[in-house]
Amino acid sequence: MIATLRGTVSEKIGATVVLDVAGVGYGVYVSNEDFGRLHSGDQTKLYIYEHIREQSHDLFGFVARDTQMLFEQLLDVNGVGPKMALNVLSIGSGSDVRIAIAGGDVKFIQQANGVGKKVAERIVVELKDKVGLTGVDLQSTGMLQGEGLLLQDEAVEALVSLGYSAQDAAKALQNVDPELPTADRIKKALSGQ
């Protein structure tokens, strides 16, 4: 099983990136977000999901591990295959998709190529609690209100649901204006601003 690939982006063809790893070019399907992020000549590491069938061996790559985890959660939904899951991840950032699923935004999910209303509803119903914004008790993690954080901060909760530890989420939000809407705070924390 291939878990990760580290190499140089040699080409971008259609929806795939060709990653040159020690002279071997691997064609890897990536989301629109990752496709735009990767440029020819870039050194990168991709987290890989292998999809092996009788007639093909497809590789799906992700710059971020949490995006790969969301991809695999989407695959657990009845009727969602790897290409459809990638299409769902291509309608926005991984955090946008998580927030849409957690918020029950079926119309947002339906924007994905090949995703109808029933499949979008199934994705929301089956994954809402798995990717949702669950409560995080910051006091139990050593984070105090005096450090500029509100207990049960939704932005912290969102980052934790994306795979951050509560401490890392708090650090990522440390220099982000707490008066901004939650979604904007999350985006700024993820982009490192």
- Name the residue with higher pLDDT: 116 or 170: 116
Q: Above 90 in pLDDT, residue 98?
A: no
Residue 144: the pLDDT is 40
pLDDT of 168 above 80: no
The dihedral of CA 32, 111, 130, 139: what is its sign?
positive
Q: State the pLDDT at residue 141.
A: 39
Mean pLDDT of the chain: 83
Does 139 have pLDDT greater than 50? no
Superfamily of domain 4-62: Nucleic acid-binding proteins (2.40.50.140)
Say yes or no to pLDDT of 145 above 70: no
The model's pTM is 0.66
Q: Taking residues 37-63, what's their average pLDDT?
A: 93
Helix axes 182-191, 166-173, angle to 10 degrees: 100
CB 193 within 8 A of CB 161: no
Q: Which fold has domain 138-191?
A: Helicase, Ruva Protein; domain 3 (1.10.8)
The answer regarding whether domain 65-131 maps to CATH 1.10.150.20 reads yes
More confident residue, 84 or 183: 84
Asked whether 85 and 182 are in contact (CB, 8 A), the reply is no
| Domain boundaries of the chain, sorted by first residue | 4-62, 65-131, 138-191
Dump pLDDT digits (tens) for 15-24. Answer: 899 999 999 9
Checking if the pLDDT of 142 tops 50, the result is no
Say if 4-62 and 138-191 have the same CATH topology: no
